Amino acid sequence: MDVFLWGVLPYLTAAIFFGGLWYRYRYDQFGWTTRSSQLYESKILRIASPMFHYALFVVLGGHLVGLFIPKNWTDAVGISQEMYHLTALSLGMVAGVATLLGIGMLIYRRRTTGPVFMATTKNDKAMYLVLVGALVLGMWATLTGDHTATGEHHNYRETVSVWFRSLFIFQPKIAAMAASTIQFKIHILVAFLLFASMPFTRLVHAFTVPLHFFFRPYMIYRSRPKSVESTHTHGRGWDKIGTPDRQKKGDDVYKP
Amino acid sequence: MRVMAQVAMVMNLDKCIGCHTCSVTCKQAWTNRAGTEYVWFNNVETRPGQGYPRRYEDQEKWKGGWVRTATGGLRLRSGGRFQKLLSIFASPVQPKLDDYYEPWTYDYENLVSAPLSDDFPVARPKSLITGEDTKIEWSANWDDSLGGTAETLANDPILQKLRKDSAEQIKLEYEKSFMFFLPRICEHCLNPSCMAACPSGAIYKRAEDGIVLVDQDKCRGWRQCITGCPYKKMYFNHRSGKAEKCHFCYPRIEVGLPTVCSETCVGRLRYIGIILYDADAVTKAAAVKDEQKLYEAQLDIMLDPHDPEVIAAAKLGDIPDEWIEAAQKSPVYALIKHFKVALPLHPEYRTMPMVWYIPPLSPVVDLLREQGHDAEAPGNLFGAIDALRIPVEYLAELFTAGDADIVTLVLQKLAAMRSYMRGVTLRNERDESLAEAVGMTGKAMEQMYRLLAIAKYDERYVIPPAHRDQAHNLEEMGCSLEEEGGPGMGGSGPFGEASGGPVPVAIESFNALRDRATADTAASSESLRDRTGDTNWDGN
């Protein structure tokens, strides 16, 4: 079981993640969008969306540091475990709470603003569930995951991080991960689900952060394509592009 | 000098009767789709008035266009690249749906399906956004023909500016005493700020004809272009999550046909032609310090298509001979640069717009006639243009960044032409002094008259078709939307065709339309699925 969860699943997730992204980039350019709902509502969005996104960057940064920087490196430069843990915990909590608050406001907005709710697809709803799940479980793991069920001290930097880094050299240290606490295990499994589903949800907009904006000239001239067809992508296959039709429950669709 | 060609338009505002035929046919052709219910690529607004979206000209609020920096460069009013990316998670100054209007339809179904009753069934207005009952409170031309302006006229940003600038208080009654219509499409600017604002680089100017387009595949819906465009002619399709805009009916232009708005214009007030311009000089011209010199600066970068040097440079820049020839015959060039009677809309936005306007003389004429004068006698008209400062200054705020002298001269030219041609028609006399008074000759006056009053279809629209060797690419290709699960499979929604599944701007060439319209058999419902509007209805 451990071999499957921590030795096979990570690579399966990565395969779906990268394969999905490639597929979508190749075949669904037209559907690749943030699908903003700012036109319908902007008061809450203006506060909640930047709060969520910026806090998420901090969370992401925290994960990178925690997972990629080995404990003996920070030990070597004289950062004690207590100091590291305190910083990570306080910063992580602030960012985590802000992320949750942000996404909470966004979901509240989505549910209570009529047009925004109507523009919410099933895909979106499932995505929110997994995303919020990953966030909440992550907080739970951070807060309660420092002791195993038997009461022993647990440091994720000696279990999860070691396993995570070993994935990249294709020699997964399954035992290291298996020694982690149940909180971390669940968090990571939900994270797998999040990453595996990401290419198929609206979250893909994160992978086209327009950083090239800094380098491109303001004016863009393009010649008319020699063949119109070549510029077209053919759409994804798993759901329709755009938001569903506006209809209340019980409305009969007119079918001639 | 880098010569490029631009398809440009001139509208003669004196002829606009505000019938909205251009808006309606444009909407039928292009924005009769889910997600674009509130979108009018072409709209006609009454001036004075707030415009569409409301008060779009208030750049203090909407942050559109460019500003000149202290060092003489150009900067987007909405901020630099860094600032834009930092604020990308919630576009700070995007107009809300309320600023446009909440689109609606009527529940016509109820008229036929309501049970027998003592009361007449009614078709309630239903919001196209929520599907719920709605109260209609505003639209793209709610203040049409100064309707309801006692309530809203004070919100016109131009009037507000004039009132701030002028020492004497302008009375509302006086403001009401003149009116004209302003049809607006995308300006297809030489220095477009929507393009500069786009983080994804999805907006581009076509090298062949200067038409500004949004690459629907590259657009990621960051919405910065909507803020960037000072004319607010960039729209967000709220169903597909992509930006859309007027595309100058490029499928028609490519086969040498005028845009739908021009084709269907009842007043025949639109002119389309080619302008050759120096692409290297655009940025410098747009950064001229004095706002009132921007008009001149833009005239300067437009090149004389008869100049052998320009022709040589154009050929070097791969501009086909037919295009150079078309540029020489361009009615747009004649009105803009030769007769200098057309003016750009809001040159102070520094985007170098390419849809120009001949300012209307009618507000002046109408006022004169109301006061009991002979509105076409030269003395009266000339005097009135000078005396009636308010219409002239209002026009100047629209077309010359406030330089009333330029507008006055244009109006005087139009007035002189009327008087001169009245002499020709009534007394068969050619009064050269009238022409000389505005720096023209009698012969030029008659040429201008021909262009403004008589010009036939092929004089108003001089559009060279796209290159011959590319003609086969203009045929309608197998449309990818028809695939299983594609957006074309949506069918009709509860409110008819417009509420169905979102369909991206279909590329249907004129040739395909003609083939379908002249076919012996009725078009199959399969092939009608991705039609873009009722203009390609074939009777079946």
Please report, for the domain that includes residue B395, its CATH number: 3.30.70
Q: Do A46 and B90 touch (CB under 8 A)?
A: yes
Whether residues B456 and B486 share a domain: the answer is no
Residues in chain A within 8 Å Cβ distance of B218: 29
Q: Do A33 and B241 touch (CB under 8 A)?
A: yes
Domain boundary among B460, B495, B512: B460
Residue B365 lies in a domain: yes
Residue B406 lies in a domain: yes
H helix runs in B87-143, sequence order: 97-100, 109-113
Domain ranges of chain A: 2-231
Q: How far is CA A5 from CA A171, B76, B209, B251, in A?
A: 14, 51, 58, 55
Q: Provide the residue-wise pLDDT of chain B in tens; the chain has 540 residues.
A: 999 999 999 999 999 999 999 999 999 999 998 899 999 999 999 988 999 999 999 999 999 999 999 999 999 999 999 999 999 999 889 999 999 999 999 999 999 999 999 999 999 999 999 888 999 999 999 989 888 877 887 788 888 888 776 645 555 545 556 789 999 999 999 999 999 999 999 999 999 999 999 999 999 999 999 999 999 999 999 999 999 999 999 999 998 999 999 999 999 999 999 999 999 999 999 999 999 999 999 999 999 999 999 999 999 999 999 999 999 999 999 999 999 999 999 999 999 999 999 999 887 887 777 777 777 777 777 878 777 777 888 999 999 999 999 999 999 999 999 999 999 999 999 999 999 999 999 999 999 999 999 999 999 999 998 755 454 444 434 344 434 444 444 444 444 444 444 433 344 455 566 666 667 666 555 555 555 444 444 444
Whether residues B414 and B501 share a domain: the answer is no
Domain boundary among B412, B436, B460: B460
Nearest neighbour of A210 by CB, restricted to B199, B206, B480: B199
Structurally, chain B folds into a number of domains equal to 2
Whether residues B287 and B407 share a domain: the answer is yes
Containing domain of residue B525, as a range?
475-536
Q: Is A85 annotated as a binding residue?
A: no
Q: What is the pLDDT of residue B383?
A: 79
Whether residues B491 and B353 share a domain: the answer is no
Q: What is the pLDDT of residue A251?
A: 52
Question: Residue B538: which of B260, B21, B519, B255 has the closest Cα?
Answer: B519
- Tell me, what amino acid is at A22? W
Q: By the 8 A CB rule, do B187 and B247 touch?
A: no
Pick among 1.20.120.790, 1.20.950.20, 3.40.50.300, 3.60.40.10: CATH of A2-231: 1.20.950.20
> Both tokens of residue B89?
């998670």
Whether residues B340 and B369 share a domain: the answer is yes
Residue of A nearest to B508 (CA): A228
Q: Is A154 annotated as a binding residue?
A: no
Unique residue bearing structure tokens 């779009």: B56
Residue B342 lies in a domain: yes
Residues in chain A within 8 Å Cβ distance of B220: 32-34, 205, 208, 210
Q: What is the pLDDT of residue B220?
A: 94
Which residue out of B86, B100, B195, B238 would a mutagenesis test of the A interface target, given it has the greatest number of A Cβ atoms within 10 Å? B238
Residue of B nearest to A228 (CA): B473
Q: Do A237 and B485 touch (CB under 8 A)?
A: yes
Whether residues B422 and B490 share a domain: the answer is no
Residue B67 lies in a domain: no
Residues in chain A within 8 Å Cβ distance of B495: 246
H or E stretch at A75: helix A71-76
The SS3 of residue B312 is helix
Residue B403 lies in a domain: yes
φ/ψ bin of B131: left (φ > 0), alpha (ψ from -120 to 50), beta (otherwise): left
Residues in chain B within 8 Å Cβ distance of A237: 484-485
Residues in chain A within 8 Å Cβ distance of B504: 30
Give CA–CA dist B79/B82, Å, rounded: 8
In this structure, the strands spanning B212-214 and B125-127 are: unpaired
ipTM of the complex: 0.88
Q: What is the pLDDT of residue A228?
A: 55
Whether residues B351 and B294 share a domain: the answer is yes
Handedness of CA B158, B163, B167, B170 (dihedral sign): positive
Q: Do B196 and A218 touch (CB under 8 A)?
A: yes
Unique residue bearing structure tokens 């506006």: A246
Q: Do B238 and A243 touch (CB under 8 A)?
A: yes
Residue of A nearest to B507 (CA): A228
Residue B431 lies in a domain: yes
Q: By the 8 A CB rule, do A154 and A147 touch?
A: yes
Series of mean pLDDT values for 10-residue runs along chain A (256 residues): 90 96 91 92 94 95 91 86 87 93 96 91 94 94 80 84 93 88 92 96 93 92 71 69 62 50
CB atoms within 10 A of CB B255: 16
Q: What is the pLDDT of residue B518?
A: 66
Whether residues B285 and B375 share a domain: the answer is yes
Q: Do A32 and B96 touch (CB under 8 A)?
A: no
Q: Is A147 annotated as a binding residue?
A: no
Residue of A nearest to B38 (CA): A39
Q: What is the pLDDT of residue B391?
A: 82
Q: Do A245 and B217 touch (CB under 8 A)?
A: no
Nearest neighbour of A50 by CB, restricted to B90, B470, B507: B90
Whether residues B322 and B448 share a domain: the answer is yes
